[in-house]
Amino acid sequence: QVTLKESGPGILQPSQTLSLTCTFSGFSLSTYGMGVGWIRQPSGKGLEWLANIWWDDDKYYNPSLKNRLTISKDTSNNQAFLKITNVDTADTATYYCARTIAAISFAYWGQGTLVTVSS
């Protein structure tokens, strides 16, 4: 059974660094073709793809966030991570991680973690 669960700080202040963790089970990020992506959704709005990391440590980012993103993984502990530097109120959103394998993008999603940026 595939499960993913996001965790984060809940609330942080502008200019801080947001660190998110995706803890998953039921698959391995060392399996050929496997990937994990991060997607966010401001309250009442649509979905925005942020980044993907693949089994071979290939990484892709959404350039709209202007080099503020860093995605990484810990294969041994079945975790993926996302850091967003220099956050501001526009980064307030629910952040999801989701699994991709081969051509089946985001087949499984976590429940999401709400992040609020406020002074």
Contact residues toward other proteins (CB under 8 A) are 37, 39, 46-49, 52, 60-64, 96, 103-107, 109-112
Angle, alpha carbons 86-36-48 (nearest 5°): 50
Q: Which two tokens mark 55?
A: 């089994």
Amino acid in the structure at residue 69: L
Spatial separation of the C-alpha atoms in residues 6 and 41, rounded to whole Å: 14
Instruction: Please state the closest distance from residue 51 (CB atom) to other proteins, in A.
Output: 9
Instruction: Please state the closest distance from residue 119 (CB atom) to other proteins, in A.
Output: 28
- Given the complex with other proteins, which of 8 and 37 has the nearer CB atom? 37
Instruction: Please state the closest distance from residue 77 (CB atom) to other proteins, in A.
Output: 23
SS3 at position 56:
coil
